A = this chain, B = another copy of it.
Amino acid sequence: MARGKVQLRRIENPVHRQVTFCKRRAGLLKKAKELSVLCDAEIGLIIFSTHGKLYELATKGTMQGMIEKYMKSSQEVHAQVEPNPPQETQEEISMLKQEVHLLQKGLR
């Protein structure tokens, strides 16, 4: 955007990072509100800055209500599919499977 393309990696300069954080956070919140209004969706957005400061948005009702609704829906939707296994764990499985595959090829 604007006078310089941006790299998709952590901005090292703390001042730049802070400025960008403010601007983009505002933009993100605006977009979230728009999506909610335009498409009649319910949105909950939680942001923790690097230093742990909390920013939030709940477009309908409260964040609490949002969370509760999420809990229920989440259980229904992917209780069996991908419940709690952290992404990391899933990735480990993938890696291992791939390795097994390679090793088996190596044996032949």
Q: Report how many copies the assembly holds.
A: 2
Nearest 6 A-B pairs (CB), nearest first? A103-B103, A96-B96, A21-B39, A42-B48, A44-B46, A54-B73
- Chain A count of residues within 8 A CB distance of the other chain: 64
Given A77-B54, A96-B97, are A31 and B24 also a contact pair (CB < 8 Å)?
A: yes
Specify which chain B residues have a CB less than 8 angstroms from the CB of A83 in the assembled complex. Answer: 83-84, 86
List chain A positions with a Cβ less than 8 A from chain B. Answer: 6, 8-11, 17-18, 20-21, 24-25, 27-28, 31-32, 34-35, 37-50, 52, 54, 56, 61-64, 66-67, 69-70, 73-74, 76-78, 82-87, 89, 92-93, 96-97, 99-100, 103-104, 106-107
Specify which chain B residues have a CB less than 8 angstroms from the CB of A47 in the assembled complex. Answer: 35, 41-44
Asked if B64 and A76 make an inter-chain contact with CB atoms under 8 angstroms apart, the answer reads: yes
- Identify A48's interface contact among B48, B56, B69, CB under 8 A: B69
Asked if A84 and B62 make an inter-chain contact with CB atoms under 8 angstroms apart, the answer reads: yes
A-B contact list, 20 entries, CB within 8 Å: A8-B37, A8-B38, A18-B39, A27-B31, A28-B35, A40-B50, A41-B47, A42-B47, A43-B45, A46-B70, A52-B73, A54-B73, A64-B78, A84-B86, A96-B99, A99-B100, A103-B104, A103-B106, A103-B107, A107-B107
